[in-house]
A and B are shown apart, each in its own frame.
Chain A
Amino acid sequence: MRDLSQVWVYLAASPLLHLTLTLIAYQAGSWLHRKSGNNPLVNPVLIAVLALVGILVFTDTSYQTYFNGAQFVHFLLGPATVALAIPLYRQFEHVRKSAIAILASIIAGSLTAAGSAVAIAWAMGAGTGAIISVAPKSVTAPVAMGIAEQLGGLPSLTAALVILTGITGAMLGPLVMNFLRISDWQARGLAMGTASHGIGTARALQVNEVAGAFSGLAMGLNALATAILLPLAWKLFF
């Protein structure tokens, strides 16, 4: 029989191990989420991420090694984003009816997201690089990183803040809207997609198809709105 460390060397070099671990960690997170009665605070992404980071730190594995396996899951983000057109098409009659309200609320949300993040980070004494990097935090990662780079921020810090914002929105969003007594699925979806991009959309899709469709729409339109408005506003104020 071979030494266990030899088997480990083989496994660590193959994508199989970390791909499998990713799927197991996520399903464990989903199981806990269901056990909690779909409580938004018991977020499957957060649970899976914490478990995997723990495993990687414990086994002294670099993120690069992990990503060699996890990239197969990561790759599907692109096609899944394209597929958001399907729930959107199913809801398009409703989208057309409320077009003005949708645009107004996404623009209001886009300005609130960037403006309040910048104001809070500045008031609490964050450095200029961090302030710029947090500004596009509600936008889907590739666009947010592009905006941060354009304004002189740190794209990799923005990428991390985008993920944290997504998880925060998925966890707190449903509670905030329940507190405000907002029961309209269109409004709930738009808010999730505007504030917390794809991770909020994933949560919205699980709960309600209307909310999921509007969330996917908001994610796309907010990326566009922020990419246009944020650099303009930045020039105006600084």
Chain B
Amino acid sequence: MLAWFTLILCCQLAGEVATGLLALPVPGPVLGMVLLFLFMAMKREIPEGLAQTGDALLSNLSLLFVPAGVGIMAHATLLAQDWQALSVAVVVSTVLTIAVTALVMVWIKRLTAGVTNDA
């Protein structure tokens, strides 16, 4: 468990260092995700302990956003300035984005499934 958690931290650390040095447009942890993925791809399996550690981290992923969420209180005055425009923009744009992304995925899958016949 500890060894696998250390591996996860090493992936994140390597990701942070690489994005910092190369000024990459992705955050360190996302690059760390790619590195951990490559590790499993090389091993051609997910080691049992890694799966347990990762699933434990992900089982309460929502909790991890709570401190940042409380941080909104620190920006209350900034949000208050344009709150009507911003709240409509956030709600309508988020709904539109979800609809467009899901519909495009379903449509293209349907189109390509007709061609390749492997779905």
Contacts and interface: CB of A to CB of B under 8 A. Distances in A.
A4 interface: no
A49 B101 CA distance: 28
A120 B85 contact: yes
A77 B8 CA distance: 12
A219 B65 CA distance: 15
A38 to B, nearest CB: 12
B89 A167 contact: no
B50 A224 contact: no
Instruction: State the main secondary structure of chain B at its contact with A.
Output: helix
Contact of A195 (B58, B70, B97): B97
A157 B79 contact: yes
A156 B12 CA distance: 24
Contact of B95 (A57, A63, A141, A176): A176
- Count class of interface residues, chain B: 35 or more
Contacts of A159: 68, 71, 75
B99 to A, nearest CB: 6
A164 B70 CA distance: 11
B94 A195 contact: yes
B3 interface: no
A127 to B, nearest CB: 6
Contacts of B46: 86, 89-90
Given A176-B99, A180-B99, A63 B30 contact: no
Interface of A: 22-23, 25-26, 30, 44-46, 48-49, 52-53, 56-57, 63, 66-67, 70-71, 73-74, 76-90, 97-98, 100-102, 104-106, 108-109, 112-113, 116-118, 120-121, 124-127, 130, 134, 137-138, 140-143, 146, 154, 156-157, 159-161, 163-170, 172-173, 176-177, 180, 182, 184, 186-188, 190-192, 194-196, 198-199, 201-203, 205-206, 212, 216, 218-220, 223-224, 227-228
Given A108-B101, A195-B97, A216-B33, 18 more contacts: A45-B69, A53-B72, A82-B8, A84-B58, A86-B51, A89-B40, A112-B97, A120-B89, A124-B88, A126-B82, A130-B85, A137-B93, A161-B79, A163-B69, A164-B90, A170-B62, A224-B26, A227-B26
